[in-house]
Amino acid sequence: MTSTLKPHYSAVVIGGGQAGLSASHYLKKHGIDHVVFEKKTVAHKWKDERWDAFCLVTPNWQCQLPDHPYDGDDPHGFMVKDEIIAYVDRFIKRVNAPVLEGTAVISVEKNGDLFKVETSAGTVTADSVILATSLYSRPAIPRAAERLPEEIVQLHTVDYRNPNQLPEGAVVVVGSGQSGCQIAEDLHLAGRKVHMVTGNAPRCARFYRGRDVVDWLSDVGQYDITVEHDGMTKKKHDTNHYLTGRDGGRDIDLRKFALEGMSLYGRMVGVSGGRMIFEPNLKANLDGADRVYNGINALIDRHIAEKSIDAPPASVYTPLWEPENEPEELDLKAEDVTSVIWATGFHPDWSYVGLPIFDGTGYPVQRRGVTGIDGVYVLGLPWLWTWGSGRFLAVGKDAEHVVDHLAGYLEAGQPALRQAASR
Ligand SMILES: Cc1cc2nc3c(=O)[nH]c(=O)nc-3n(C[C@H](O)[C@H](O)[C@H](O)COP(=O)(O)OP(=O)(O)OC[C@H]3O[C@@H](n4cnc5c(N)ncnc54)[C@H](O)[C@@H]3O)c2cc1C
């Protein structure tokens, strides 16, 4: 449903991804008049910012958008890109949100009891605002990129599609989070020479003791743990574990790739004179990822023992390969490197938010999406409340909570009426 601009709304939702649409779903249920401003097109990231071989890392059963759970015949499979887009498109249709696409919010400010929302299509006022623009707004590319030789093709993961898009020659993938590892695998499987620059991302087994690790972790209660549990508050800045859902799901083991010809390096510290320079921490990065892998499996072992579950035997991952040395630089020309893929994450873009809601790290201060400013809410961020808050699994539950709170706020405060009365 495309909306036309009105001068005032009870609620303005900023961002038309799955979080903004989930908010709209519940606002409609409450009968709250609202608009969703989306600067591009709804849920466009699944279409525009994923590579061709992309598939979910989370199993299909974890797709739990509100009133739109996965209902296909492969709950333990991993939807590929087109299937994800179809799943999201059905959600878009179901919600039928009052959305204004191609409308960027330029600023949100408090104006008495109301909020003034300036957009590329005009200015409106609102009694409440829901910020649903995610932490994945702008590709994060280190400034060292500026010092790469001009002839090298550089892409961020959002622009990577497939190996054929890159010129012949070797590829450097910088960053070993989920995207970096999956893209490195994509290139490796296509027979490309890959130089993989690792960071401190953890990894996780796909299957362990007869089941998907996600299924075990769900039974253990891992996805119900909230950010308020001890030790969880810093989780929101953690890098995701690397593993894949490709071809029915499997581990990603960089040591195995090394045995097959992939070159691995420690963290990149810079580029100088046509060389990429690395910290000597490759071994530490690989060991750290495996420690987490084994730690998660040990958690599952404890659960199986406590519940006396009949399951295949326990095992501990032992490294298939160890680096002989710590490579400290890569001569790009000598190694025929023709492209570099920056798998270095994203920056949020809260520049439109003229409200004092952020902590020192740029993350909004909030409790399950409810900020300290009456009428201001956030949605869809990793660990907003639980692990699933920034994913298909739990964004809907958070949206329901946020909209229930917002509805209560509108009912109790009636800010627009108060403002009118005071004029
Ligand atoms: C590579 C990758 C793989 C992932 N894999 C999985 C997975 O396997 N399983 C899973 O559950 N989740 C996965 N996720 C996480 C998650 O599901 C997505 O990040 C999800 O798209 C976040 O949805 P969102 O609505 O919060 O934000 P986004 O999808 O980022 O939507 C925000 C919207 O806000 C718009 N916007 C931004 N600024 C403005 C503005 N000023 N005015 C108007 N509009 C604005 C943007 O155009 C965008 O459409 C993955 C994420 C990535 C990046």
pLDDT digits (tens, 9 = 90+) for 138-159: 999 999 999 999 999 999 999 9
Instruction: Return the ligand 1 atom nearest residue 20 CA.
Output: 25
Which residue is closest in CA terms to ligand 1's atom 15?
391
Query: How far is ligand 1, taken at its centre, from the CA of residue 256, in Å?
Result: 31
**pLDDT interval class at 219 (50, 70, 90):** very high
> Is 134 touching ligand 1 by the criterion CB < 6 Å?
yes
Enter the DSSP assignment of 387.
G
Residue 116 sits in which domain range?
Answer: 8-137+348-422
Cα–Cα distance between 69 and 77 in angstroms, integer? 14
In this structure, are 173 and 224 located in the same domain?
yes
> Is 133 touching ligand 1 by the criterion CB < 6 Å?
yes
Cα–Cα distance between 376 and 131 in angstroms, integer? 8
> Is 137 touching ligand 1 by the criterion CB < 6 Å?
yes
Q: Which residue do the tokens 């201060």 mark? A: 365
Q: Which of 304, 326, 342 is the last residue of a domain?
A: 342
Per-residue model confidence (pLDDT) at position 264 = 98
414: pLDDT strictly greater than 80: no
Instruction: Name the residue type at position 360.
Output: G
- Is 323 contained in some domain? yes
Residue to mutate, 134, 244, 385, ligand 1, most ligand atoms under 8 Å from C-beta: 134
What average pLDDT does this structure show over 284-290? 98
Query: How far is ligand 1, taken at its centre, from the CA of residue 261, in Å?
Result: 34
Q: Which residue do the tokens 């130089």 mark? A: 195
Per-residue model confidence (pLDDT) at position 217 = 98
In this structure, are 315 and 418 located in the same domain?
no
Query: How far is ligand 1, taken at its centre, from the CA of residue 87, in Å?
Result: 15
107: pLDDT strictly greater than 50: yes
- Is 120 contained in some domain? yes
Per-residue pLDDT tens for 371-413?
999 999 999 999 999 999 999 999 999 999 999 999 999 999 7
421: pLDDT strictly greater than 80: no
In this structure, are 310 and 390 located in the same domain?
no
What average pLDDT does this structure show over 100-114? 96
Cα–Cα distance between 172 and 332 in angstroms, integer? 9
What average pLDDT does this structure show over 161-168? 98
The 3-state DSSP class for residue 54 equals: coil
Count of domains for the chain: 2
Q: What is the CA radius of gyration of the chain?
A: 23
Instruction: Return the ligand 1 atom nearest residue 245 CA.
Output: 8
Q: For residue 80, what are the β-bridge partners?
A: 55
What average pLDDT does this structure show over 322-341? 97
In this structure, are 222 and 268 located in the same domain?
yes
282: pLDDT strictly greater than 50: yes
Instruction: Name the residue type at position 401.
Output: H
> Is 136 touching ligand 1 by the criterion CB < 6 Å?
yes
Q: Which residue do the tokens 């699994």 mark? A: 393
417: pLDDT strictly greater than 60: no
What average pLDDT does this structure show over 257-285? 97
Residue to mutate, 3, 12, 39, ligand 1, most ligand atoms under 8 Å from C-beta: 39
- Is 132 contained in some domain? yes
